[in-house]
Amino acid sequence: MKLMKFFSHEKCLDSFILNFLGFQVLRYVLGKLIFWFKYNFFPIDKNNIKKFNQILSSGFDSKSNFLSDNDFNKLKEEFFLAIDNSIDEKQGENISIQMNEGLEYKTLYINETFKDKYPTLFWFKNHSFIKDYFVTCEQKKDYDLYCRLEKILVKNDNTEDPNKDYHFDTFHNTFKCWLFIDKVEKSQGPFRYLPNSNKFSLKRLFFEWKESIKYSLDKKVNASFRTNKNYKNKLDKKSVLMQVTENTLVMANTHGLHRRGDASIGTTRYAIQFWTRENPFKLILNN
Ligand SMILES: [Fe+2]
């Protein structure tokens, strides 16, 4: 049964023996190989590969002035109406408000009910550039896409937030993007990404082996493997800080090393986030 999970998109196998024998490493290598094979010999949307070359090679990219002023202004207006009215409108399971000592994290999924109430947000969910981005980067035409509005208010900058530690989301290529509704300055804790950390390396291979063993011995270890906190300052010097203006689309392969930035108390980030989490082993079957 545990062996069947080998071919799943589960972040890490829950078996000391399998992880010690290097099965997590094998999943990492196979995931990379399958993607490389598909991308080089049977690429989808050849024309778009140039368009997304930067993210496919370095692992991140951004596009300022993403929407026309007119579309962005309509979107922004609907964003604030939707996120502020979401409780009154009884969005039910679509809304999530996580409150802890440090953050108020409010998310709202875009669904069919948006079609009449918030037509620009509904239209944006199916934006052609974003579709192309996921098709080309995932190398799949058929994938599950998630999309939600996000408001992150920082109430205390001293509390533990695991997303502020450098981490790899998972062992295979996986993609996200955010359209920022408001500018993100340094004090607002912009997203940080280490360029080229999405690429295959022996260092990462060994890291996957070591962390998978730790995970199988201690369930408190996060399955999105974290790097040692002692390296945080060093990595901060090498990583790219995504300080952006409003209406900027930030794209990232979060299989690479990244973290949430350090935001000051009282600051808020507003964004629309899209992401996929596909099974890397189905790449050849699911076109
Ligand atoms: Fe992450």
If 0-12 CB within 10 Å is exposed, 13-18 middle and 19+ buried, where does residue 201 land?
A: exposed
Query: What is d(CA 39, CA 198) in angstroms, rounded to the nearest whole number?
Result: 15
Per-residue pLDDT tens digits for 170-186: 999 999 999 999 999 99
90: left (phi over 0), alpha (psi -120 to 50) or beta: left
Distance 167 CA to ligand 1 centre (A): 6
Structural element, H or E, at residue 221: none
Per-residue pLDDT tens for 103-153? 788 889 998 888 899 999 999 999 999 999 999 999 988 888 999 999 988
Taking residues 68-92, what's their average pLDDT?
A: 84
Q: Which of 3, 273, 251, 255 is nearest to 136 (CA)?
A: 251
Q: Where would I find the beta strands (DSSP E) of the chain?
A: 60-63, 95-99, 103-109, 146-154, 175-180, 192-193, 240-241, 248-253, 258-259, 268-275
Spatial distance between the Cα atoms of 121 and 138, rounded to a whole number of angstroms: 24
Q: How far is the CA of 60 from the centre of ligand 1 (A)?
A: 13
Interval between CA 250 and ligand 1 midpoint (Å): 14
- CA 115 to centroid of ligand 1, rounded, Å: 30
- Tell me how crowded residue 58 is: count the other CB atoms within 10 A of its CB: 19
Q: Distance from the CA of 256 to the center of ligand 1, in angstroms?
A: 9
CB 48 within 8 A of CB 247: no
How far does residue 116's CA lie from ligand 1's centre (Å)? 33
Ligand 1 centre to CA of 89 (Å) is 30
Q: How far apart are CA 227 and CA 235, in angstroms?
A: 10
> Which domains, and CATH codes, for the chain?
13-282 (2.60.120.620)
Span from the CA of 70 to the centroid of ligand 1 (angstroms): 32
- Lowest mean pLDDT segment, chosen from 161-175, 221-235, 247-261: 221-235
Contact 157, 262 (CB under 8 A): yes
Ligand 1 centroid to 118 CA: how many Å?
Answer: 29
109 CA to centre of ligand 1 in angstroms: 19
Taking residues 200-226, report their average pLDDT: 92
Confidence of residue 93 (pLDDT cuts 50, 70, 90): low
Q: Is the pLDDT of residue 284 over 90?
A: no
Its sign, for the CA torsion 149, 155, 160, 164, is positive
Burial 154-169 (b: 16+ CB within 10 A, else e): beebeeebeebbbbbb
- Listed residue (3, 7, 5) closest to 17, CA to CA: 3
Tokens of 83: 């996120």
Question: Quick check: helix, strand or coil at residue 50?
Answer: helix
Distance between Cα 96 and ligand 1 center (Å): 18
List C-alpha distances in Å: 89 to 82, 83, 106, 110.
9, 10, 15, 13
Find how far residue 13's CA is from the centre of its chain: 21
